[in-house]
Amino acid sequence: MVSVPGFLLRRLYVKQSLRNTERGIEFELRNRLGSGYAHTMLPLTVDGEELPLEGSYFVVDGNETAFSMVSKTRTFTLAMNKSITIQADGVRLEPGPHKIGMGFEVPGLGAMRFDFTDVVGPS
């Protein structure tokens, strides 16, 4: 099975987009690698702690989908040159650097994971 290295997937993250919101945290991804989709989302991690799938979402064109709702019929799609917002409820980050991890399962490729470290931007 072919695998995409984490250092390439890390390029999806839009630097300096990590921020606190009223609900929790959010950050942006922008696909510059090639279109693809996932049929399973893995839990987000914040500084090594897993977050519940039910409280993690992706937003595309104003439509919010919980990670727990992703399936073979309702995929997580990363269209080429398209931005997507990732949100996690109930998390508040203190000033300073934080390590965020994300992963998904892609048909034919299996589980793919990446992480990035960034500081919280203004709300």
Range of the domain at 91: 6-108+115-119
pTM: 0.91
> Strand, helix or coil at 7?
helix
The total number of structural domains in the chain stands at 1
Q: Within a domain: residue 1?
A: no
Does residue 16 contact residue 120 with C-beta atoms inside 8 Å?
A: no
95-111 pLDDT, tens digit per residue, is 999 999 999 998 888 89
Give Cβ neighbours of residue 117 (< 8 Å, ≥ 6 apart): 97, 98, 99, 100
113-123 pLDDT, tens digit per residue, is 999 999 997 66
Q: What are the residue ranges of helices labelled H in 51-100? A: none
Pair type for strands 76-78 and 36-38: antiparallel
33-66 pLDDT, tens digit per residue, is 877 889 999 999 999 999 999 999 999 989 999 9
Q: Within a domain: residue 16?
A: yes
Task: Supply the CATH number for residue 103's domain.
Answer: 2.60.40
